[in-house]
Structure 1
């Protein structure tokens, strides 16, 4: 059987889903965006990925931290806005208003959250589980690139200077080895300024021309005042039985907490998800996708050009000698993963996302491409006809747009990404003093 035939077989087993396969399409959990738990997306098929006359040799993997706690702002919103709203909703339903059923009302009545603001964005228990299970599956798929025993010369682990990334890396090593052996793992020092894992944080030009530029948020703001959004806010307010129309900020807070709490708890849906149906959840998902598209994706070329800082390290490792690490695992953030996916020309819509109406056919859906524990892996195969690279996103084999097959010749990728490898000048690209276009 040739490589192409095997590729077709694995494309069936490991293909990227258009929707979350384990959930009904009308389930609001299909539309949680960046707060989607990885258990909805992960590929449970952990069979060894083999190709004839090829052997997995090295792996380079970028991983978003696992499920986390909310930001301080959202924690405060839970403790004040949502707490007060809870009693208002219960009161209105006692008056015969609203559309929540008895089970939903009971969940809401029992709802109480006391999260310490000082623990903002800390890794949640679900995030620990996500990392352990992800590591176990990857180990089974690529046993040659990912050895059974830890050695600091063959493994490299790096994380950003954040608790959630550091803890994600720690629990990932428990999944790769075991709890005892993982205690001996050496992690590369975390840097506050990290051009490889969080390049955008200190790219002055990007910060000014993209993140802090009001033009970046024009489409999202347009959608926030659109007829679709106004209809959604009115529908949510009516479903909750309120005699007022909620603000977009409050509905957005409910949507975010719906995602967080659904991620934390494997067995119960957050009571705040009851405020949404499929249509309203889709609208809120698109509202956030607009922001990520224009800030982290295809909206500005500087956004994804700077991701060369990460991609370059992968190519450097793949073309270097045997003494270099065989398995590199990097733990970063949503902003890192989205920019790298864009740099690789993945999930690009046919036309830019706009705020006048929802684009339901877009491949750019954070729910699928940027959930908690989202990951992108490149695996180097040593084959009889030369070195080849297999790409996996969310543990599923994908074909890169610039490649003819899933197992892509390394030389072809090096030629295609020549500028990313040899002309990746971070200082020149990000300096406000330079006259580079963005």
Structure 2
């Protein structure tokens, strides 16, 4: 077990965590898809797989945007919930609360970051640093690939959204050590491969906007786990206001959107126990399981075109007319779909609201965090003047050993893995009609 997973499970046990949030030695920092990249990432400088007599000739990656501000609906609900701050502090002053004194003091002194609630979906400073750091570490490991990137030797492309474009700008800055003359393409409205689900009427109506997609997550809110969580927050804060399910969700958003890791923990998180956060994390897993992963078979279809792109790009590189680096900036929905299409992190039984599975493979905190990334590196190996090729996959800067033994796929294994996606498209007839992205 690597160090990151060891620390993850150590925190799950709670064996080193103290009672107060402000001085806990092991703050629970797993917030489903709003988890910070630095909380779970590896480091490709340490985990890089090097093979004798082999050299990297091309890299392909799809990278989720870095940490961003909440969307307009989330921001509106969070703004309303700020009124609860006074109630929580007042309850402590009246000795009705079991929240620790320093945690209450931190919450009392906490100021609303208004830019977070007004500049909706804007990339945060931390989000920019996440993307920048990925680029810098890739530059450190693959200098021959990223040096002297002339026109035609690279492709940097972003899905829609200024926060994605800015994430890609940060990544390119890291890759090129600040050279800002590289072209970043934005997807068009027709047939793009980075977010085909976003304009597909069938997906939008039958999956994303369909209440049934979230039925298991809603069902879990009636489970004793969630009821216990709601009651414990009510008792811990001691406020004279009955908390409803929506209140719990919004308070959780205040915790995870204002949490910035080692720089500054959010005092809003102090009203939750670790057990509470694990319950809320599972609700996030259930939502993503059905919206963009194994829960609905349609989801796999949207990853086909971009995986075919990966195969084509590496075939071109083998022939000597490919690009040194190809990178796409995407939404979490797309990275989820790619992992699903590759058959990764699939549980034996579907995730449901009937019970929380502590040993589940699909944990959005680990595989769908901010800046989550899937990278593939094509190596050319030469022996006795003969060349052969292999491909190494990485997830969040650690080798994806589940795809091939030792994390190294021979070219034949790589082709077999991606063969199902040859000529994959998301055609208008399947989608039925084109929809607006928002």
Same-fold call, TM > 0.5?
A: yes
Distance 1:16 1:365 in 2: 14
State the Cα RMSD in Å: 2.2
Report the secondary structure of 2:45's partner residue: coil
- Which among 273, 279, 298 is matched to residue 269 of structure 2? 273
Q: How does 1:103-114 map to 2 (within 5 A)?
A: 103-113=102-112, 114=114
Q: Which runs of 4+ in 1 moved over 4 A?
A: 21-25
Shift of residue 427 of structure 1? 0.5
Q: Which residue of 2 aligns with 1:155?
A: 154
Distance 1:431 1:105 in 2: 51
Q: How does 1:310-325 map to 2 (within 5 A)?
A: 310-320=306-316, 321-325=319-323
Distance 1:219 1:361 in 2: 18
Q: Which residue of 2 aligns with 1:286?
A: 282
Report the secondary structure of 1:30's partner residue: coil
Q: Which residue of 2 aligns with 1:189?
A: 186
1:390 aligns with 2:392: yes
Distance 2:49 2:141 in 1: 5
- Which among 391, 401, 424 is matched to residue 399 of structure 1? 401
Q: Which residue of 2 aligns with 1:164?
A: 163
Q: Which residue of 1 aligns with 2:8?
A: 20
1:410 aligns with 2:411: yes
Q: Which residue of 2 aligns with 1:348?
A: 346
Please give the per-residue CA displacement for 1:194-217, whole angstroms capped at 9, x wherever unaligned.
531111112222223222333222
Distance 1:193 1:171 in 2: 26
In 2, are the aligned partners of 1:123 and 1:167 still within 8 Å (CA)?
Answer: yes
1:73 aligns with 2:73: yes
Q: How does 1:236-315 map to 2 (within 5 A)?
A: 236-263=233-260, 266-315=262-311
Q: Which residue of 2 aligns with 1:129?
A: 129
Shift of residue 192 of structure 1? 4.0
Q: Which residue of 1 aligns with 2:367?
A: 369
Distance 1:95 1:177 in 2: 57
- Which among 377, 380, 394 is matched to residue 379 of structure 1? 377
Distance 1:36 1:309 in 2: 28
Q: Which residue of 1 aligns with 2:101?
A: 102
Q: Which residue of 2 aligns with 1:4?
A: none
Please give the per-residue CA displacement for 1:83-132, whole angstroms capped at 9, x wherever unaligned.
21000111111111111111101111112211265510110000111111
In 2, are the aligned partners of 1:217 and 1:291 still within 8 Å (CA)?
Answer: yes
Q: 1:353 to 1:18 in 2, by over 3 A?
A: farther
Distance 1:202 1:366 in 2: 24
Report the secondary structure of 1:319's partner residue: helix
Distance 2:321 2:173 in 1: 24
Q: 1:112 to 1:276 in 2, by over 3 A?
A: same
Report the secondary structure of 2:8's partner residue: coil
Distance 1:376 1:140 in 2: 18
Report the secondary structure of 1:267's partner residue: coil
Q: 1:417 to 1:429 in 2, by over 3 A?
A: farther
Please give the per-residue CA displacement for 1:156-182, whole angstroms capped at 9, x wherever unaligned.
100012111100111111111222x22
Shift of residue 46 of structure 1? 1.0
Q: Which residue of 2 aligns with 1:234?
A: 231
In 1, are the aligned partners of 2:4 and 2:40 still within 8 Å (CA)?
Answer: no
In 1, are the aligned partners of 2:139 and 2:176 still within 8 Å (CA)?
Answer: no
Distance 1:190 1:273 in 2: 37
